């Protein structure tokens, strides 16, 4: 809120555990060569990602984060006026791109605290949508579907449609939530990032895995120098330090449990999460009551946004807390206690 300092950065779900020391070392070394553009083909990084996932380099597209890849995917597939199916309240940046390229957004409601694959498929068929967006695990709820459920969704994508499966939080999810490789299927793009568990949000590297023909289309529309030499070097080194990643994921799990305990002690409920944040059920939507009292009570349930962005549809009763060091968790305890008091 304007005029008030932030107690903690929790809106963007960054990892305060930071990058692997190997990644930091590699980026520092690459910084001395920043007078040169990065490799526009990202040959070494694509090869490293391909080895990591057991696919070919021609099945990998890399850009400056998932946001950039979403923009390109919308540009490649959507004509003005065409329907694009997503979940009402899901990742807002995807919506900005759809709106910016003239698409017509069709939002389907969540089923409980999860995106609804059946509703997404039904809307895609009814609207003859060329593009469908589905996140697993989901933001803002932190919920997830099992791999078999996601695979059924992939197998039933209508002819002529492309399904984006946003797996930004796959590294913090249970292994049983992530389907096996689908790189031979033209109807799906799976997107990953180095911004979350890898702790490199400020570096901006994301990638898509898909069928080679679909992946080649990115080269027709992307900016070829958007991923810097520093970013490429850091991402390669981060992939090579899986032990560090495993330790971070373990730390996230412990912090997730602790935030659940803090919520419970405040009379609130932490929703199950497969991400690096926790959604807290505060019992009800606090915004109307706060508005009557002239207080900014919407903060009880909404996430922080970049300045100048339109407000995001949110889920009633929701507040999210990123998992991180102890000082942030202590701050969370006070904030959740205040949220509990506001209910009464």
pLDDT of 342 strictly over 80: no
Residues 239-255 pLDDT 10s: 999 999 999 999 999 99
Closest by CA to 156, choosing from 120, 209, 127, is 120
Residue 286 is predicted with a pLDDT of 53
CB 264 within 8 A of CB 72: no
**Exposure b/e, 288-300, CB count within 10 A at least 16 = b:** eebeeeeeebbbb
pLDDT of 323 strictly over 70: no
| Phi, psi angles (nearest 5°) of residue 122 | -60, -45
Report CA 285 to chain centroid distance, whole Å.
24
Confidence of residue 167 (pLDDT cuts 50, 70, 90): very high
Residues 286-302 pLDDT 10s: 554 444 433 333 333 33
Write the CA distances from 204 to 13, 65, 201, integer angstroms.
14, 5, 6
Closest by CA to 190, choosing from 206, 174, 212, 210, is 210
Residue 210 is predicted with a pLDDT of 97
Confidence of residue 283 (pLDDT cuts 50, 70, 90): confident
Confidence of residue 336 (pLDDT cuts 50, 70, 90): low
| Lowest-pLDDT choice from 25-39, 102-116, 272-286 | 272-286
Residue 116 is predicted with a pLDDT of 98
pLDDT of 335 strictly over 80: no
pLDDT above 70: percentage of residues in the chain: 81
Other Cβ atoms less than 10 A from the Cβ of 147: the count is 17
């Amino acid at each position: 809120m304007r005029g008030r300092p932030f107690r903690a950065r929790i809106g963007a779900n960054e990892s305060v555990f930071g990058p692997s020391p190997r990644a930091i070392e590699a980026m520092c070394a690459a910084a001395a060569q920043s007078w040169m553009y990065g490799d526009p083909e990202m040959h070494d990084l694509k090869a490293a990602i391909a080895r990591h996932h057991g696919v070919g380099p021609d099945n990998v597209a890399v850009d400056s984060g998932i946001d950039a890849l979403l923009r390109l995917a919308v540009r490649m597939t959507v004509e003005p006026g065409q329907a694009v199916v997503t979940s009402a309240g899901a990742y807002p940046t995807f919506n900005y791109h759809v709106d910016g390229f003239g698409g017509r957004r069709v939002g389907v409601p969540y089923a409980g605290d999860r995106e609804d694959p059946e509703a997404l498929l039904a809307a895609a068929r009814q609207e003859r949508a060329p593009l469908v967006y589905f996140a697993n695990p989901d933001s803002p709820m932190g919920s997830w579907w099992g791999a078999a459920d996601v695979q059924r969704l992939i197998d039933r994508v209508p002819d002529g449609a492309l399904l984006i499966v946003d797996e930004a939080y796959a590294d913090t999810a249970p292994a049983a939530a992530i389907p096996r490789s689908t790189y031979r299927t033209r109807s799906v793009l799976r997107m990953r990032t180095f911004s979350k568990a890898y702790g490199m949000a400020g570096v901006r590297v994301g990638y898509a895995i898909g069928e080679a023909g679909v992946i080649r289309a990115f080269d027709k529309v992307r900016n070829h120098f958007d991923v810097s030499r520093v970013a490429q070097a850091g991402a390669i080194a981060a992939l090579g330090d899986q032990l560090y990643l495993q330790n971070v994921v373990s730390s996230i799990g412990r912090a997730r449990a602790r935030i659940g305990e803090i919520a419970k002690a405040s009379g609130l409920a932490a929703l199950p999460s497969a991400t690096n944040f926790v959604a807290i059920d505060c019992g009800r939507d606090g915004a109307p009551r706060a508005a009557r009292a002239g207080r900014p009570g919407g903060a009880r349930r909404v996430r922080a946004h970049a300045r100048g962005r339109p407000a995001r549809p949110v889920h009633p009763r929701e507040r999210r807390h990123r998992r991180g060091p102890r000082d942030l968790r202590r701050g969370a305890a006070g904030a959740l206690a205040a949220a509990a008091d506001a209910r009464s």
